């Protein structure tokens, strides 16, 4: 059975979702994406839709109840939201014949809301997951259709974990396409246990500032949670004050080497690595951000300096 999909999406994962839906033999009858949609694998989501003469709509419309009438006129069976963060109104959510679904790069209900990948790293989770769920008006609150959970090894960056979530998310979309092709009645709808729900909004850990008085493991996790290199983090980069100036730390590693220097003290190892003292161990700092560009820490940090 071929169904009509409307895709609300951004980023390269949205472009991959487009390819997955069409490769499964379903029809895309509407694409909702911004003019600045990120590039996908060789071609952006917007350019794919333009190439295939698929109607393209502004993301602002998902908040407009009248847009539901447009989707119904296109005979939409499934609405799929992939990494588009705007609030979708109830009428649009209810416009599709077989349901509206959201791809969430985190496990539900334990990691709902914004930036689940970064929060998982910062909070030291041992397990993460990706969830494809029925949409509800409340963010990330709908019944779960498909999910996959996996262990974390403790050295993921926000970028590496996001890339893995994207790959797994596309597999879940592929599974949805297979199920609806056989019988849409068979789409699972597992209710979430809201006693386990944890939701993050637009807040960020420690207001984006490094506290060198924390253990090195925690400071390292803090930096990794922000590390989307080579791309810019949604949170920016962790900040620290050195000689009255703001320094942005882009990448750092826990050395497991004990230190007795005051927290924030800068030194260099025998191999030339830049080290900064935390409360218990030395942290190796590889990259800083200066004037929106990545630079080696050794170009700016010198032994004897100390972060405030």
**Domain-terminating residue out of 147, 181, 200:** 200
Domain assignment present for residue 21? The answer is: yes
Residue 38 in this model has a pLDDT that exceeds 60: no
40 pLDDT tier (thresholds 50, 70, 90): very low
Residues 174 and 218 in one domain: no
Give a yes or no: residue 305 inside a domain.
no
Q: Which of 173, 200, 227 is the last residue of a domain?
A: 200
The residue among 101 and 227 whose pLDDT is bigger is 101
Short-list 72, 21, 76, CA closest to 49: 21
Same domain? For 262 and 126 the reply is no
Residue with the bigger pLDDT between 194 and 231: it is: 194
What was the pLDDT predicted at 144?
Answer: 98
Q: Give the count of beta carbons closer than 10 Å to the beta carbon of residue 284.
A: 18
Q: Does 171 lie in the same domain as 22? A: yes
Please report which confidence band the pLDDT of residue 41 belongs to, taking 50, 70 and 90 as the band edges: very low
Residue 234: per-residue pLDDT: 78
Q: What is the mean pLDDT of the chain?
A: 93
pLDDT at residue 1 above 90? no
Same domain, 259 and 166: no
Same domain, 268 and 226: yes
Same-domain check for residues 188 and 259: no
Q: Output the domain CATH number for residue 243.
A: 3.10.25.10
51 & 159 share domain? yes
Least confident among 12-21, 221-230, 286-295:
286-295
**Is residue 80 one of the residues assigned to a domain?**
yes
Q: Single out the residue in 200, 216, 231 at which a domain terminates.
A: 200
pTM of the model: 0.92
The CATH number of whichever domain residue 193 belongs to comes to 3.40.50.170
pLDDT of residue 204: 84
pLDDT of 84 over the 90 cut: no
- Checking if the pLDDT of 39 tops 50, the result is no
> CA triplet 163, 168, 170: central angle to 5 degrees?
95
Q: Within a domain: residue 308?
A: no
> Confidence class of residue 307 from pLDDT cuts 50, 70 and 90?
very high
What is the number of structural domains in the chain?
2
Q: Are residues 54 and 124 in the same domain?
A: yes
pLDDT in tens, 171-220: 999 999 999 999 999 999 999 999 999 999 888 888 889 999 999 999 99
Same domain, 72 and 153: yes
As a whole number of angstroms, the distance between CA 284 and CA 181 comes to 51
In a domain, 304, yes or no: no
Pair (181, 47) in one structural domain:
yes
Asked if the model's pLDDT at residue 146 lies above 50, the reply is: yes
Mean predicted confidence (pLDDT) in 231-254: 88
Q: Is the pLDDT of residue 225 over 80?
A: yes
CA distances (Å), origin 139, targets 89, 109, 135: 11, 11, 8
- Here the tokens at position 34 are 């911004």
Establish if 306 belongs to a structural domain.
Answer: no
Any domain includes 291: yes
What residue ranges in the chain does DSSP mark as E strands? Answer: 4-9, 27-32, 56-57, 78-82, 100-104, 112-113, 127-134, 144-151, 199-200, 239-242, 245-258, 266-268, 274-277, 281-290, 293-296
Question: CA 10 to CA 56: how far, in whole Å?
Answer: 13
Q: What pLDDT score was predicted for residue 61?
A: 96
Residues 31 and 115 in one domain: yes
Query: What is the pLDDT confidence band of residue 259, given thresholds at 50, 70 and 90?
Result: very high
* Residue 154 located in a structural domain: yes
Same domain, 266 and 129: no
At 86 the pLDDT is: 81
Domain extent at residue 129 = 4-200
């Amino acid at each position: 059975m071929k169904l009509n999909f409307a895709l609300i999406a951004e980023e390269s994962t949205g472009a991959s979702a487009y390819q997955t839906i069409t490769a499964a033999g379903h029809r895309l009858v509407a694409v909702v994406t911004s003019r600045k949609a990120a590039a996908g694998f060789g071609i952006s989501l917007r350019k794919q839709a333009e190439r295939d003469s698929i109607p393209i709509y502004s993301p602002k419309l998902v908040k407009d109840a009248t847009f539901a009438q447009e989707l119904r006129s296109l005979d939409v069976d499934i609405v799929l939201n992939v990494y588009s963060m705007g609030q979708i109104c109830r009428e649009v959510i209810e416009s599709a014949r077989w349901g509206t679904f959201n791809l969430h790069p985190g496990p539900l209900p334990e990691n709902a809301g914004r930036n689940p990948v970064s929060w998982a790293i910062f909070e030291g989770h041992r397990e993460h997951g990706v969830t494809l769920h029925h949409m509800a008006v409340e963010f990330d609150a709908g019944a779960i259709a498909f999910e996959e959970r996996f262990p974390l090894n403790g050295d993921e960056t926000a970028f590496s974990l996001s890339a893995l979530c994207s790959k797994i998310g596309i597999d879940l979309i592929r599974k949805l396409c297979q199920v609806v092709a056989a019988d849409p009645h068979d789409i699972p709808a597992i209710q979430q246990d809201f006693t386990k729900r944890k939701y993050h909004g637009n807040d960020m850990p420690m207001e984006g500032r490094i506290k060198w008085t924390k253990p090195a493991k925690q400071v390292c996790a803090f930096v990794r949670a922000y590390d989307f290199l080579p791309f810019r983090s949604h949170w920016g980069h962790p900040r620290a004050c050195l000689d009255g100036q703001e320094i942005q730390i882009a990448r750092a590693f826990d050395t497991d080497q004990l230190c007795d220097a005051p927290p924030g003290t800068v030194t260099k190892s025998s191999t030339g690595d830049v080290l900064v003292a935390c409360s218990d161990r030395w942290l190796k700092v590889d990259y800083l951000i200066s004037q929106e560009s990545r630079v080696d820490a050794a170009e700016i940090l010198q032994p004897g300096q100390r972060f405030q």
